Chain A
Amino acid sequence: MRFILMMTGTRANWDEYAKWSKEDLEQNVAFMRAFGKELKDSGVFVATEGLGWPGEAKMVRTGKNGEAITDGVFPESKEFLAGYWIIDVESPEQAYKIAARASAAPGPGGKPGGIPIEVRQVLSGHADLGL
């Protein structure tokens, strides 16, 4: 079964992140690299992407004639997706365990950041309701 692990943060979280020390950033980057390798080595990796800074985010809606209407001013409290991993595992528990590992990515001072990771099942294309 496939799960997406989504790492999110508010604008405030991103602003703090921008002020981390070089050492803290290096530790975090090294952790993320090692984490990605762990997923690949253990045969559960499907996909991962990191997303651009939320300052560049736009909310787009269709206008009357199908034109794009963009809106980019978001409240401080809005959560932005920072990046995600998609994994293929045998059970939800295995996905939670991996998400906890992602949440342990080091923050300032090298301490586990404890960033919340939203875990959602990716729907399969399967159809066997016994039909």
Chain B
Amino acid sequence: MADRLDPPIEQLLREMAPQVLSPVVRRFRDFAAAEDAVQEALIAATEQWPRDGVPANPRGWLIQVASRRMTDHIRSEVARRRREQVAAEEAERLALQVEGAAETVDDDTLELLFMCCHPALTPASAIALTLRAVGGLTTAEIANAFLVPEATMAQRISRAKQSIKESGIPFQLPTAEDRAQRLRAVLHVLYLIFNEGYASSAGPQLRRADLSDEAIRLMRIVYDLQPDNTEVAGLLALMLLTDARRAARTGPEELVPLAQQNRALWDRQQIAEGIALLSAALPKGAVGPYQLQAAIAAVHDEAARTEDTDWPQILALYELLKHMSDNPMIVLNHAVAAAMVHGPRKGLELLNALDSDPRLAERHRLEAVRAHLLEMAGEHEAAITNYRNAASRATSLPERNYLMMQAARLSDLRRADQ
């Protein structure tokens, strides 16, 4: 996309992307080619609209351009197979059908999301495909966000489309019994996109396309389509309540832990929106993990000062979460909450359960939490060892810097005492 594209046009194109792609896929029954055709139509729009003005029916314009590209594609495909005549007629017929078609935009976008987040795809493929097909981002923008060359991202997207083709995933809404499971897969992909953006907002990185904003935007679309699903509301609330702290979360170079953040920088409006969503969802019954995580984020966000944090409530929420989801990261956070309520010894005791848990792939997180609790318990020497062990296994530079600093801070204290 052009560097200085008019922001309203860019926004409009992003909104249009899934609404244009769906009807084209449905008509031509070829997801991979349709996706390419729509990308070309979007690029054509970024060139023509700023110059000639936005057409009266932008969606119709894009569908028409994409369909023309599809027609060309089919013609050349068929020419290759030497059946020019028949297929050209077929292509014309298909192109004609598109015009004047009244679409149910809502179902279209949902169908696309279900397809792009299909469980048959790896998370990396599903993320890339969702950002391009539903989010309307260009391959270059996605590559930039994930710090890989554009050619590598293009290859990933094309492989993802290939696996959709090979697995014969139909482009249609899943059956009622599949629906809940498929929606969970969609939410998981959007959750991963959000985390990718949130986690990378600190550190010595070049500016990256804002994945958190994009995840929230897509999540709002899903919420508009499924407003009665409480986990959909829960995930949107979780994103808003977490993202609200963004401005306070990073210093000039390093990340600022929750306890030390300047809470005046938190986005109050976003917090209010998240809490309203959550408050409306919770009484509807069937409380799921996203709602619980959102509730925990809300308790943090509601504390005016760190020391006002309602830890007993957070602990109770983590206990519910622990029963619901057997995830070592939840065990870890639960131990922190228990330490805040019952003292560091209780937390350290709970951490022991994780020592032999093979699922906790990132051991440094366990060591970092243990170091923190040991420090709370006044065992500075052991805390230093654990901070250093955690630093030596950290997989990110801001994390490693943070952990090294903690170890150095404690050993400076010890030296000063001696």
Contacts and interface: CB of A to CB of B under 8 A. Distances in A.
Nearest to A2: B147
B360 interface: no
Interface string B396-411: 1111101000000000
Contacts of A127: 199-200, 202-203, 255, 396, 398-399, 402
Given A43-B159, A131-B257, A126 B152 contact: no
B152 A125 contact: no
Given A42-B155, A125-B200, A130 B332 contact: yes
A127 B396 CA distance: 7
Contacts of B148: 45-46, 88
B151 interface: yes
Contacts, number: 84
Contact of A123 (B159, B198, B333, B400): B400
Contact of B365 (A42, A44, A126, A129): A129
The 7 nearest A-B residue pairs measured at CB: A125-B203, A43-B156, A125-B205, A127-B398, A128-B199, A127-B202, A126-B199
B202 A125 contact: yes
Nearest to B249: A131
6 contacts: A42-B155, A44-B152, A45-B148, A45-B149, A125-B203, A130-B365
From DSSP, what is the main secondary structure of chain A's interface residues? Answer: loop
A104 to B, nearest CB: 23
Given A127-B202, A127-B255, A1 B152 contact: no
A131 B198 contact: no
A124 B200 contact: yes
Given A43-B159, A90-B122, A124-B200, A129 B399 contact: yes
Given A123-B397, A124-B396, A124-B397, A129 B332 contact: no
Contact of A129 (B156, B368, B397): B368
B279 interface: no
Nearest to B160: A43
A126 B329 CA distance: 17
B282 interface: no
B124 interface: yes
Contacts of A42: 155, 159
B124 A125 contact: no
B258 interface: yes
Interface in B347-370: 365, 368
Contact of A90 (B124, B152, B155, B200): B124
Contact of A41 (B123, B149, B155, B398): B155
Interface string A50-84: 00000000000000000000000000000000000
Contacts of A126: 199-200, 202-203, 395-396, 398-399
A121 interface: yes
A101 interface: no
A90 B124 CA distance: 8
B195 interface: yes
Contacts of A2: 147
Q: Choose among A90, A121, A130, A131 the residue with the greatest number of B CB atoms under 10 Å from its CB.
A: A131
Interface in A12-28: none
Contacts of B396: 123-127
B124 A131 contact: no
B337 to A, nearest CB: 11
Contacts of A43: 152-153, 155-156, 159
